[in-house]
Amino acid sequence: MIHLDATVIDAILDGSLEPDDARRIREHLAEPCERCEQALMEHSVDLDGLLRLCEAEVGLDEPVEQPLSSLERAALWQSVQADMPARQVPLAPRSRWRLPAAGGVVIAMAAALLLFFQLPQPYDGVKGPGDGEVVPAPPRLELRVVIGRDVAGSIELDRRVQQGETLAKDAFLLFELEADRLAARYLFVVDAAGAVTQLAPAPDAVPSLQPAGSQRVGAEGGWVVLDLADMQGAITVVAAAAALPVDATSEVVRPWQAGEPRDWVAYDILKLEVAP
């Protein structure tokens, strides 16, 4: 039999009580219990708070009567972001765990060093998913390339570039990627000599998961622009997306160059020619 005490009451109120314990409590409270009544009287929660929780629980599976509009959602997200830096990240480990934790870190570092010197290193970059690790299937990905021209110091968008098109050297290319779900997205250009340049994310940046939808390759409404003035002959634009952020060189570019693209990475490739 479970009686109410401060811990159990708090767990019921914040919804963290395990279902089995919840069942036992529910069965127990079907009959009056003076001890539980006393525990509730000593607790700070009052009837109105309980009633409101019951009201909120009742409609948990129902659609919201007046849902947030898209503007309210966006404004609320901005408020969440604005409020974040002012907060202190709580210190999770309690003091009694600090010593064993520090010991664990030392042992782990020693083990890692031992492994580093004893095991052969199959990759010279970051090892990505593989070796039996379950990886979600790649998203559907579409690369759109728009041609732009320098008009009085600013780039004016012209039209969408087609597969196999021959372009003049005075053109600029601007890129947009569309994926149907959350994914890390990468963009490369390969010149006629086979040299690969990573356009996005910036080669030294940590790849980030991005939400579904269409994104310009750029930030804050800007674009990454590829100036064709420095290019000549055949060029290939390679867009890739993966459900996991991975090392672009070893897990995306090299397998593709070797003709063995990873099956957990989506590719969209555009071959173009730059006129001399």
Partner 1 sequence: MSSFFGVHFFGHWNLASPLSMPSQPVPIPLIVARARQGDAAAQRALYEQHVDQVFGFCLRFCRGDREAAQDLTQEAFVRAFTALPELRDGQAFPKWLMTTTRRCCLRWIEHRQREAAAMERVAHEPRPAAARGERSQRIVAEVIDACPDPKLREAALLFYREPPHTTDEIAARLGLSRTAVTTRLMRFRAWAKLRMMGRLAAALEEEGS
User: Please, which of residues 93-132 interact with partner 1 by CB under 8 A?
Assistant: none
Which residue lies nearer to partner 1 by CB, 165 or 180? 180
Whose tokens are 């196999």? That residue is: 164
**148 part of the interface to partner 1, by CB under 8 A:** no
**68 part of the interface to partner 1, by CB under 8 A:** yes
User: Please, which of residues 209-238 interact with partner 1 by CB under 8 A?
Assistant: 209-227, 229-231
Smallest separation (angstroms) from partner 1 to the CB of 225 = 5
Q: From residue 210, how far is each of 24, 75, 177, 184, 213 by CA, in Å?
A: 44, 19, 11, 6, 9
Smallest separation (angstroms) from partner 1 to the CB of 234 = 16
Smallest separation (angstroms) from partner 1 to the CB of 176 = 10
Of 57, 156, 165, 263, the one binding partner 1 by CB under 8 A: 57
**133 part of the interface to partner 1, by CB under 8 A:** no
Q: Half-sphere exposure of 181 toward its Cβ, with a 13 Å CA cutoff? A: 9
**258 part of the interface to partner 1, by CB under 8 A:** no
**65 part of the interface to partner 1, by CB under 8 A:** yes
**CA distance linking residue 1 with residue 233, whole number of Å:** 80
Of 15, 103, 104, 130, the one binding partner 1 by CB under 8 A: 15
**CA distance linking residue 9 with residue 54, whole number of Å:** 14
Size of the site for partner 1 (CB under 8 A): 104
The amino acid at 49:
G
Whose tokens are 């397998």? That residue is: 255
User: Please, which of residues 181-200 interact with partner 1 by CB under 8 A?
Assistant: 181-183, 185, 189, 197, 199-200
The answer to whether the CB of 256 falls within 8 A of the CB of 236 is no
Non-local (6+) Cβ contacts of 215 within 8 A are: 176, 177, 178, 185
**164 part of the interface to partner 1, by CB under 8 A:** no
Question: What backbone torsions phi and psi does residue 137 show, to the nearest 5 degrees?
Answer: -60, 150
**CA distance linking residue 14 with residue 25, whole number of Å:** 15
Of 106, 202, 233, 263, the one binding partner 1 by CB under 8 A: 202
